Structure 1
Amino acid sequence: MTPDTASVACDGWDGSECEGTPHCPPRCPRFVDKEGMRWTIRPATDADEPFLAEMYERFGRRHRAQGLPPVSRRRRVDWIRSMLSDGNNVVAERNGDLFGHAMYTPTDAETPELAVFVHPDAQDRGVGTELCRHVIANAAAAGRDGIELHVETGNRPARSVYRTVGFEVVERRGDLRMRLDLDQPIATEVRWPPLARHGPTESLRDAPTVEAEATRSPAGD
């Protein structure tokens, strides 16, 4: 169970009329995935280190990209500490557990590098895309010029996510290098409140809660 750091400015999940508050920029922390499950995307803290280590412990070799997260426990802990120290980090939290981690690093670079990791159990729900949008919003709010990333040529799911949020291939040499200039419209759009981004939508009051999800039987899946 993660520490109680997921404070948000509201206690409701119906964003259909949300115009934003001064307390939740640069992007609303509330997120409902493709299956209707509720998530909080929030800044990571040093207290998240053991919970990130636990999350990455469950990554198999086929879920790693470009050697990350590191295989050995010691190197993995050192890497997590380095990211928390040198980067701007966000985590995806549901029902008190972490299932996603993204960052741009280093924070003082004009064009830092993005990395995003989603636990296998939470993939294909839009969590990785939402994490990317938070990183873009944070980098734009901090006045960065752009964000770059490297992705393996054969990693089609990741490439699709990055294209969705505006990245373009700028170099093909082994792995692909992709870039998003933060003067592009998406860097502004990701910081809009839900009402401005989506317009009035169907209320989420009847969406399943994390408590209800936890008690669902396998037969109901």
Structure 2
Amino acid sequence: MSETSQQRGAHARLYGRSKGKALRKRQAALIDELLPRLSLDLAQPPAPTARERRLEIGFGGGEHLIAAASDSPEVEFIGCEPFLNGVAKLLARIDERGLTNIRLHQGDAADVLDWLPEDSLSRVYLFYPDPWPKRRHHKRRFVARENLDRLARAMHAGAELRFATDIDDYAAWTLARLRAHPAFRWRAQRAEDWRTPWSGWTRTKYEAKAMAEGRDPVYLTFVRALR
């Protein structure tokens, strides 16, 4: 556990698995060789940059992050994912495409949000986070006041928080907490605004499976209000 995680205390600990099945030989090599070159050093202050910076929290297999970074090579992307197998899949895609505008953190996105300067993010993606469906586990959901405060500090005015889920309860949970937070405004004006994905949306295997099982995704966009 990093020093920043210890400072946040046990209540904010990162839950869930960090590793699944054994990595393939190439994946293990990328973890050993490429991941250290792309990983953020949270022990050092962030280097100043004039580039637009976006953050994806929990990138899964990395389908969206790869597509976004390929489409916007001028933007610096930061991807956070605690699950080692997902990181390995993303590294393979980065290596195949030769992308140079992605930095990574294998661990808790809250640590990265604490590390980033104020007003440094133009967009944040939070797609299909673990819904922790049991009521006693709801406190583990990423959408909580303390993390929204972190996002509000790191996002500049007008920056977007894009959220997607196929779980109705988590959609309602997220709406309630974002609408109650003074730093965010929900952009939807009609039903199609939350039923329709964003332009250039990359459908992941998870989303395709959810839709095949009859769960309709919800796409929510929140804007960081003026300070």
The TM-score bracket by the shorter chain reads 0.3 to 0.5
Q: Higher relative CO (CA 8 A, sep ≥ 6), structure 1 or 2?
A: 1
Q: Relative to total residues, which structure has the larger helix share, 1 or 2?
A: 2
Taking structure 1 as the reference length, the TM-score comes to 0.38
